[in-house]
Chain A
């Protein structure tokens, strides 16, 4: 017994039995899918339906005739299956679309450990998911677990490839009947071959087969080695490239916006204004980033020959851009070197008003800067912006030394030096250094920082201080100056210059003699005579004690 269905095909009425109906319906929906992307598909389907109606009309032997399955099959044979029809164009257009843009990101339910996220990503970037997993695992270890969060996020955001069409889209294969059928067949074959495998394994337990298998395995392994090396290199490259890229970008942006270490600010000091300095720092950024980018794509290529390749236009323009940045940076460097090629020094000498018997105390004096002042560090030099005086404070390790002099008065010698394009320019830059010091009674306050006007740029400026002491004068070096005594100072104790701080010294014949040092192996003699020879003072300190003669 069979149920009969009434259908209306191209405005013609037919009785059709249930089986025939389902076959016909199936056929029509298959056609609908096949012509989905063909222009005018509705019209084509309408024409085909009309033709089916005509053929049914021919088959109808009497008005009450019920169309059966055999009739439907005959009609299908005449009209043909969709793959035999001219739907090639449709296939082509789908294929183009799929490879170009319609590859979609899905989670892969077939090859998964947790959520199938990496497997899906692997298809998307055309990389073997195993390598992606290894990379992800290493990166997770390094990221301190942050990538776990990212994984969960991706898991939640990326849809699961549920249907066969989704799976094809995930793999970037065109979604058409042939491929869907192929895919379903593959899945079926997979199951059936697994079933077959079980039987085969049972049957092939002999030693011979096992050994053969073993050698096949070894052969495969040997063939695999270069592949593995390439892949491992690929993973390493990718890893370096990603870490490098991210850290450079983060470093650059944070340097630009947040930290005291301003790139453009730094360049501001290099004879450049704001815009060219920003431009230069961007050139610098690209100079570093582009090699990382190439490394990234090289890594991808090593992982998979199918991985997305850099287009030749993109590649060439990146290479050109890199060369441009190189030229810019080299040009800038050359300019800097040339503009600082000659050195000039300016010496200023100040007599210190002091009685011969007074001890000259030298002390450090520093500016106090608040935390909010813009500050920048370059080669052991702190540069602090001082908007009050429109100048930079240069806080650099100032060089100080103590020398003997022939002149009767102690003097402070300030040696300012700078570099420039030519001697005149260098001299001009040296003149522009503003050094501040002052004397309060017998105390000499030496500033450890010096100033440059905003208009003065970096010219390798330097300041050196020399305290010149006549023979017989005493000096006390305050411990605050300990770090600034850079040059060896001749002394009878053989101290390093920094160790001379915190002691009283008397200038002897070309070298300092300690007055309060622990070591007493040497004797100290002090002789003072007034000009009219009426008063005389003689002091002698040695291992025998202190001897004082006065007149």
Chain B
């Protein structure tokens, strides 16, 4: 078993949850999301996030708008949709349950 591989798998599973939670707080543009995730050590490479964002957007959980930037190319600002909010709420309760279960199992 490869430790790196296992932790990467763990992170991957909850990455969508984290991204949705971040965007639910306030509208963000992709670099903000990347920074927050990196700070939380949720991310090894940035490339992982882009397919996820596209997938969430295609599932109508996210939407975005373009905004001009002074220092570079125009930025995509992401915001959560109402469908995304319900989904996030479901994810959260699922996560809480999972968290509880894992804690109780690993304690023994």
Contact = CB atoms under 8 A, between A and B. Distances in A.
Nearest to A75: B46
Nearest to B45: A80
Interface stretch (A34-42, A188-196, A372-380, A528-536): A34-42
- Interface class of chain A by DSSP: helix
Contacts of A10: 73
Contacts of A88: 12
Interface in A312-335: none
B72 A57 contact: yes
B98 interface: no
B71 A57 contact: yes
A89 B31 CA distance: 24
Contact of B47 (A40, A43, A80, A89): A80
A40 B31 contact: no
- Interface class of chain B by DSSP: helix
A84 interface: yes
Interface in B10-63: 12, 15, 30-31, 34, 44-48, 50-55, 57-58
Interface in A74-100: 77-82, 84-89
Contact of B45 (A44, A47, A78): A78
A85 B48 contact: yes
Contact of A86 (B34, B48, B72, B74): B48
Interface string B53-94: 111011000000000000111101000000000000000000
Nearest to B31: A54
Contacts of A12: 72-73
A50 interface: yes
Given A40-B58, A57-B71, A57-B72, A47 B53 contact: yes
A44 B50 contact: yes
B44 A47 contact: no
Given A12-B73, A53-B73, A44 B54 contact: yes
A48 B15 CA distance: 18
Contacts of B71: 57
A341 to B, nearest CB: 75
Interface in A173-230: none
Nearest to B9: A88
A49 to B, nearest CB: 9
Contacts of B73: 9-12, 50, 53-54
A48 B47 contact: yes
A178 to B, nearest CB: 14
A514 B44 CA distance: 118
Contacts of A9: 73
A12 B48 CA distance: 23
A38 B58 CA distance: 12
B51 A44 contact: yes
A94 B58 CA distance: 20
A47 B30 contact: yes
Contact of B51 (A11, A38, A53, A81): A38
A79 B31 CA distance: 12
B68 to A, nearest CB: 11
Contacts of B52: 86
Contacts of B31: 51, 54
Contacts of A35: 51
B72 A84 contact: no
Contacts of A87: 51
Given A12-B73, A50-B73, A40 B48 contact: no
A40 B44 CA distance: 23
Nearest to A54: B72
Given A39-B58, A78-B45, A85 B72 contact: no
Interface of A: 9-12, 31, 35, 38-40, 43-44, 47-48, 50-51, 53-54, 57, 77-82, 84-89
12 contacts: A12-B73, A38-B51, A47-B50, A51-B31, A54-B72, A54-B73, A57-B72, A77-B45, A84-B45, A85-B47, A85-B48, A87-B51
